[in-house]
Structure 1
Amino acid sequence: MARPFTFTAISIFALFATGAAEAQNIIADGKAGLDLRYRLELVDQDGFNKNAAASTLLTKMWYKTGDLKGFSAYVEATNTTVVGKETYNNTVNGNITRPVVADPDITELNQAYLMFKQEFVTVKAGRQGINLDNQRFIGTVGFRQNDQTYDGVLASFSAGKDLTASYGYIWNVNRIFGNDHPAGDFDTNTQIFNVTYSGLPFGKLTAYGYLLDMNDAGAFGLSSSTLGIRFAGGTKVTDKVKLGYELEYASQSDYKDNPADYTADYWGAILSASSSGFTAQLGYELLGSDDGISFKTPLATLHKFNGWADKFLATPGAGLEDAYASVAYKVGGEGPLKGMLLKAVYHDFSSDVGDTSYGSEIDLLVSKKINKYLTASVKAAFYNADGFGADTDKVWLTLAAKF
């Protein structure tokens, strides 16, 4: 799409047109950064005679100018390189004898936008990452090596410190698969409405509307109108015990060129308790179904939800119920293990309609920030299929650096 590059050209003109001296100042006041992330992802999935082993290195370079009368610009480029042999199906290499790991070998202009920011208004125009709320509906899929980004305009307006309203218009979604994939982009006329009030003493209330108008024939079925409300907060029970809670409801129906006629509900609820480094959590999520057509979230950061094995990236036609529990511990005190996070999650999956058991999953994580630059983690997912998909085991070894 040419439009984000047009915005980049406009931003450069706007920043330099006010004079050479001011232009030099915003360049001198800018910041640059380099992020590196090496990952080895191993996949053992029933139905494949060969396992997948994806050894990839993400390199992300970014630069943000200084501020000039509220204007600034941001540019970010990424490269994902295969380290060693490409013994996995990256969705475009044709290696279909092995399981999918959606990290293609790719170089992209990841973000390029002009930003205008004053006390009560922020506007971004161009290619940008957008993460709203918990990313259940709009997100960047940051776990994968190639981000999901959006070509569009996003404006946020604040009425004091507690009330924020955002509106966005998106004409293209740059998906994680890259431009070589036939579904690597979504051509859209998508509108985003999100209003958040954080002045309540016990939590934050958000109302939203996401109008997804897909222009590609293969994606017409993803066009939808989603209206919802979300509440999230926490409170101290004692000096050492804190409760957290989330409750969310949304209703989705067909929109624009979607050939289907449906209305499906979404419910999400989480209750957690934290004390002395331990956190226990109970959660429930329902993506409903209407006559075989399910609630869909195609722009979400899907890896965050319904198990790390990614078996439910597309909601089954009969819907999805996910009842889950987790326990986590972050090491405190002093010593070499300080800050280490250990986490275990159990999921039980079933259908919304028909009371079909889909399967269960155990997820495990160990993560440690080594110093101010380096973070290492080991992560695993074990999906046990019952009525949906195939048994799948995944392991990730990751070392990330930020400079």
Structure 2
Amino acid sequence: MPVNRDRRSAWIVGAACAVALAGAGVGPGAAAAQEVSFHGQVRPRYELRDPAGTGERDTFTSMRVRAALDAALDERVRIFVQVQDVRLFGEETNTLGDFRADNFDLHQGWLEFGGEHLPWLRTRLGRQEVNLGGQRLAGAVGWTQQGRSFDGARLMVSGERGTLNLIGFKLAEESSAANEADQELFGAYGTLRSVGPGALDLYWLFHRAERDGPDTREHTLGARYAWSGAVDGRLEASLQTGDRGDEDASAFMVGARLGRSFAEGRAGLTLWYDYLSGDDDASDGESSVFNTLFATNHKFYGFADLFLNVPVHTGGAGLQDLALKGRFTPRDDLALSVDLHRFQAAAGGLLADDHFADEIDLTVRHRYSPHLTMTAGLSRVFNVDGLREVGRLERSQTWLYVMFDALF
């Protein structure tokens, strides 16, 4: 049922006070807690994007502020509560007149417990971040100030040979005022350690979404193998099948990465290629475009974030990403990197130009202290005829950011 905004704001602020008091060791049950820790983060970030979605240059400063309580109540029970405020500088023109905490929210709040007779099994219930594997299909999207979390349950099995995560999340609830249909995500993600020089991940995800017409019932199955050393790499493949509304889903993704370290690990080069299938025939009753679901796409397809929503941001044509990435760490507190991307459509039969764009990303990261990191980045996107055709970008784009990240 709808909740009055003033009551909701009061509840949120009250919860934040309770978290702060608990972190200080004040409140019911504090004496019984074996271990209680309090964590926080302040992360302002200035950005310039030219052109932005409006076609003009845009500059703004955003900020994330998080506070978290982590309490191990005993050997079997743990709770974690994390609240956050995400805002743009100047969003509240008069703080004396606006004190409703519109941007304050519960980012995580979960209960975790394990049985004395089943020490290899833990159950986590509530709102929680989830990063599966390399976050190719499900991730917390930590780059964004708001991040992503899921509401639901997670069973975590651990053993000498590996781990298994079973998830069940409610993405949308028909009974709530904000949603008109149910949506869920279920899955299993297992990791086998010491398979040759690396680790092997096997996974299955099932996404169900109710619609006015036929529902979406889509399965994603795949495997990921990654290893590290003087030569490190990754091989990954996923297959999607099932129903997407009134179309049959038949899509796939393959990816490979191979890197080499130099100068006692202080420098390295990585060659990277990803192929996400596309669809150039919308009338055959089959959807062949790969859906990245709930991935942290900022990690993969260029830092300028022009491919955050695949397949939407590629016009259903899929994506090929060929990249060369270099890194150099001249000092322990300083890291430099440069990434070169060439983006191409995977199914460009309907496009006059199947070359989406080229991108170069420059990043400098300085660890000012154990608690503060400063990062600056510059990206240039050019040769954008393909992106112009799918309505994503009209001309070459420059993106710049400076970020300060303080943690305790």
- Alignment pair present for 1:265 and 2:252: yes
Tell me which residue corresponds to 2:364: 366
Could you give the per-residue CA deviations for residues 270-322 of structure 1, whole angstroms, max 9, x where no partner exists?
00001220010000001102445410113111211211111112222121111
| Contact 2:213–2:246, Cα closer than 8 Å, also in 1 | no
TM-superposed deviation, 1:217: 5.3
TM-superposed deviation, 1:215: 3.2
Q: Separation in 2 of the partners of 1:396 and 1:352?
A: 30
Could you state the TM-score of these two structures normalised by the residue count of structure 1?
Answer: 0.80
For the residue of structure 2 that corresponds to 1:308, the secondary structure is: coil
Q: Separation in 1 of the partners of 2:321 and 2:82?
A: 36
Note closer, same or farther for the CA distance 1:86–1:329 as it changes in structure 2 (3 Å cut). farther
Select the residue among 61, 75, 97 that pairs with 2:81: 75
Q: Separation in 2 of the partners of 1:41 and 1:47?
A: 14
Q: Matches of residues 117-156 of structure 1 in structure 2 within 5 Å?
A: 117=114, 119-156=119-156
Q: Matches of residues 3-402 of structure 1 in structure 2 within 5 Å?
A: 23-27=29-33, 29-45=35-51, 48-84=54-90, 106-117=103-114, 119-158=119-158, 160-172=159-171, 187-215=182-210, 223-235=217-229, 242-255=230-243, 258-276=245-263, 277-290=266-279, 291-292=281-282, 293=287, 294-313=289-308, 314-315=310-311, 316=314, 317-332=316-331, 338-354=332-348, 356-384=354-382, 385-388=384-387, 389-390=392-393, 391-402=396-407
Look up the equivalent residue of 1:249 and give its one-letter code: A
Look up the equivalent residue of 1:25 and give its one-letter code: A
Could you state the TM-score of these two structures normalised by the residue count of structure 2?
Answer: 0.79
Look up the equivalent residue of 1:127 and give its one-letter code: R
Note closer, same or farther for the CA distance 1:33–1:258 as it changes in structure 2 (3 Å cut). same
Note closer, same or farther for the CA distance 1:219–1:295 as it changes in structure 2 (3 Å cut). farther
Q: Separation in 2 of the partners of 1:127 and 1:320?
A: 32
Could you give the per-residue CA deviations for residues 34-76 of structure 1, whole angstroms, max 9, x where no partner exists?
1100100111127745321121221100001123241111100
Note closer, same or farther for the CA distance 1:58–1:152 as it changes in structure 2 (3 Å cut). same
Q: Separation in 1 of the partners of 2:32 and 2:211?
A: 40
Structure 1 residues not aligned, in runs of 5+? 13-20, 88-103, 236-241, 333-337
Q: Separation in 2 of the partners of 1:86 and 1:311?
A: 29
Look up the equivalent residue of 1:283 and give its one-letter code: W
Q: Separation in 2 of the partners of 1:216 and 1:368?
A: 48
For the residue of structure 2 that corresponds to 1:30, the secondary structure is: strand
Q: Separation in 2 of the partners of 1:225 and 1:357?
A: 30
| Contact 1:325–1:347, Cα closer than 8 Å, also in 2 | yes
Q: Separation in 1 of the partners of 2:66 and 2:196?
A: 39
Q: Separation in 1 of the partners of 2:109 and 2:172?
A: 14
**What is the aligned-residue RMSD (CA, Å)?**
3.1
For the residue of structure 1 that corresponds to 2:72, the secondary structure is: coil
Q: Separation in 2 of the partners of 1:285 and 1:379?
A: 23
TM-superposed deviation, 1:172: 2.2
Calculate percent identity across the aligned residue pairs.
Answer: 26
Look up the equivalent residue of 2:121 and give its one-letter code: V
Q: Separation in 1 of the partners of 2:326 and 2:152?
A: 39
For the residue of structure 1 that corresponds to 2:303, the secondary structure is: coil
Note closer, same or farther for the CA distance 1:28–1:120 as it changes in structure 2 (3 Å cut). closer
Structure 2 residues not aligned, in runs of 5+? 3-10, 19-26, 94-100
Note closer, same or farther for the CA distance 1:27–1:345 as it changes in structure 2 (3 Å cut). same
| Contact 1:82–1:105, Cα closer than 8 Å, also in 2 | no
Q: Separation in 2 of the partners of 1:22 and 1:82?
A: 36
| Contact 2:329–2:335, Cα closer than 8 Å, also in 1 | yes
Note closer, same or farther for the CA distance 1:346–1:114 as it changes in structure 2 (3 Å cut). same
Look up the equivalent residue of 1:265 and give its one-letter code: F
TM-superposed deviation, 1:150: 0.1
Tell me which residue corresponds to 2:96: none
| Contact 2:260–2:268, Cα closer than 8 Å, also in 1 | yes
Look up the equivalent residue of 2:36 and give its one-letter code: G
Look up the equivalent residue of 2:270 and give its one-letter code: Q
Note closer, same or farther for the CA distance 1:275–1:152 as it changes in structure 2 (3 Å cut). same
Q: Separation in 2 of the partners of 1:264 and 1:204?
A: 25
> Alignment length, in residue pairs?
352
Q: Separation in 2 of the partners of 1:186 and 1:140?
A: 24
Look up the equivalent residue of 1:398 and give its one-letter code: M
For the residue of structure 2 that corresponds to 1:312, the secondary structure is: coil
Note closer, same or farther for the CA distance 1:85–1:44 as it changes in structure 2 (3 Å cut). farther
TM-superposed deviation, 1:122: 1.8
Look up the equivalent residue of 2:402 and give its one-letter code: L
| Contact 2:277–2:346, Cα closer than 8 Å, also in 1 | yes
| Contact 2:211–2:245, Cα closer than 8 Å, also in 1 | no
Look up the equivalent residue of 2:43 and give its one-letter code: R
Q: Separation in 2 of the partners of 1:55 and 1:218?
A: 41
Q: Separation in 1 of the partners of 2:204 and 2:357?
A: 32
Note closer, same or farther for the CA distance 1:169–1:370 as it changes in structure 2 (3 Å cut). same
Q: Separation in 2 of the partners of 1:331 and 1:192?
A: 42
